Amino acid sequence: FAQNKPHDYRPKYHYTAPKNWVNDPNGMVYLDGEYHLFYQYNPFGNVWGHMSWGHAVSKDLKNWETLPVALPEFDNADGTQTMIFSGCAVIDSMNTSGFFEKGFTKGMVAIFTSHIEGKAQHQSIAYSADKGRTWKRYDKNPVLDLGMKDFRDPNVIWYPEKQVWIMTVVKPLEYIAQFYESKDLKKWTLLSEFGKQGDMTKIWECPSLTKVPVEGSTETKWVLMISSGHRQKDYLAMQYFVGDFDGKTFTPQKQNEILYVDEGKDFYAAIPFNNLPKSHAKPIMIGWINDWEYAREIPTGDTWRGGFSVAREFSLKKTTDGLRLVQQPIIQLKNAQKAAFSVKNKVVDGTYEVPFKGEVFDLTLEIQPQEAKVVTLNVFQSQGEATAIRYDANTQELSLDRTRSGQVNFHPRFSSVERVKVPLKDGKLKIRLLADKSILELFAQDGEHALTEWIFPTKNEGGITLTSEGGKAKITTLSVHTVR
């Protein structure tokens, strides 16, 4: 017999490395028309190991060009190796570090965790005068060492009010984020600590502290993001705290509030870009698409494993419960897209077969459930297979069900359903679904909720249907764009 050709899961508009394993995005920074995405990378295989910084650049946050490894793992004199764990990059335009020539404004400095397996984690720096193409490690590394085995993921921002750099870094096993300041990126002084609250079901990793605009006002607030546990036990997700930062201490708007950035299983370790041009009014982040629970086993084939979300801008919205994060994908789709199909004011009673088939699309649906008890959008549908996005009008729950999405048995924890409470607005549910071969990024009610997940369909029929159960529902608008 002819062997079944393995399904091609490689996304078209989400960045994946040409080969090998990737995890966290690192060193995201903008310089001179280029967005830099560095990332945790194993140059030698498609499982975790030999962690180094891979590198890709983009001019439009959609098309990425892969560059050679930026910061490789290296050998130490005592026979051990130092891996380059997660971290960030800044543009040292005032040469505060003294690494660059006088007057040079485009120096890039990477701040990362230097990891010696089983022995130590400390923070180190490296610098580049050629836009991240070649790097030199600082000869007096590490720059911050507490003598701990778990102390990692520095994220640095410029804090103009004090003319200092502020680093947020975590003690993962203690659920503590620490804030440090520095004038030169080399000498760091502890300012304060925040933690022991929020989601503590998993260790804390990859923190970031960002000043974020509040919608409909001129205010800003600070958002502290931490990669940690998921609402569903023993999965991973990201949580955030909203509050104030006075250059020393982070004070949350509410004690012990637990808020999640993305309610899917596969959005982790996102950090925001540094040094964005003024034309971006809002901060932008990119996350790693995966969950450590099964990340090593996702069935993407022998070549590559792991990927990155599209760039998302984020802001805060006032609600009666306090400020909440909202996110919008910005993949500059406008000229990259072709409207494939659209319909307005269509009543659905039973099953409506959407006259579009595909695995790479951007779909917008605005629907009034009206008399329907449940409405379901099935995507990647073929005989016996579908990923179901369901809205239950009684419980006001939006769910993303991948239990019948295709390959689910490669790991016992993969098959799952997410449920999120999403109240209707003026009787309507609005969703945007970015689908890309094996990645789904689902946004509801204009980015108030986000759910990101892998799916591994075994057939590529890519059918889409919309079903109403228990009565009629009305589609106000449904449009599907192909993404090129």
CB of 227 to ligand FRU, least distance (A): 6
Residue 468 touching ligand FRU (CB under 6 A): no
CA angle at 103 for the pair 100 and 106, rounded to the nearest 5°: 60
Q: Which is nearer to ligand FRU, 120 or 420 (CB)?
A: 120
In the list 85, 100, 179, 454, the residue contacting ligand FRU (rule: CB under 6 A) is 85
Question: Does 438 interact with ligand FRU (rule: CB under 6 A)?
Answer: no
Q: What is the arrangement of strands in the sheet containing 108-116, beginning at the earlier edge strand?
A: 74-75, 81-91, 108-116, 120-128, 136-137
* Residue 205 binding ligand FRU, by CB under 6 A: yes
User: Count of CB atoms within 10 A of residue 450's CB?
Assistant: 26
Determine if 17 is a binding residue for ligand FRU (CB under 6 A).
no
CB of 155 to ligand FRU, least distance (A): 11
Give CA–CA dist 403/412, Å, rounded: 11
- C-alpha distance from residue 369 to each of 2, 194, 389 (Å): 46, 43, 14
Q: Considering beta carbons, is residue 24 or 181 the nearer one to ligand FRU?
A: 24
Q: Is residue 313 near ligand FRU by the rule CB under 6 A? A: no
What is the footprint of ligand FRU within residues 137-156 (CB under 6 A)? 152-153
Q: Of 143 and 389, which has the nearer Cβ to ligand FRU?
A: 143
Residue 219: helix, strand or coil by DSSP? coil
The helices-and-strands tally (H runs, E runs) of the chain is 0, 35
Closest residue by Cα to residue 472 from 333, 329, 370: 370
Contacts for 357 with CB less than 8 Å, ≥ 6 apart: 461, 462, 463, 464
Tokens of 266: 């596969």
Tokens 């949580």 correspond to 239
Nearer to ligand FRU, 11 or 172 (CB): 172
Cβ closest to ligand FRU, residue 20 vs residue 23:
23
Site for ligand FRU in 249-278 (CB under 6 A): 269
C-alpha distance from residue 320 to each of 317, 323, 324 (Å): 10, 8, 10
Min dist. Cβ of residue 50 to ligand FRU (A)? 10
- Asked if 392 touches ligand FRU (CB under 6 A), the answer is no
- Site for ligand FRU, residues 25 to 44, rule: CB under 6 A: 40
Alpha-carbon distances of 21 from 44, 53, 290, 295, 298, rounded to whole Å:
8, 11, 11, 10, 11
Identity of the amino acid at 386: A
Catalytic residue among 8, 24, 130, 392: 24
Active site annotation includes 24: yes
Work out whether 128 is an interface residue with ligand FRU (CB under 6 A).
Answer: no
* Binding of residue 73 to ligand FRU (CB under 6 A): no
CB closer to ligand FRU out of 269 and 439: 269
Give me the 104-123 binding string for ligand FRU, x by CB under 6 A, dash otherwise: ---------x----------
Distance between CA atoms of residues 208 and 205, nearest Å = 10
**Looking at 61, 206, 238, 286, which residue binds ligand FRU (CB under 6 A)?**
206
Helix/strand/coil for 276: coil
Among 46, 52, 86, 327, binds ligand FRU (CB under 6 A): 86
Site for ligand FRU, rule CB under 6 A: 23-24, 40, 51, 85-86, 113, 152-153, 205-206, 269
- As annotated, the active-site residues are 24
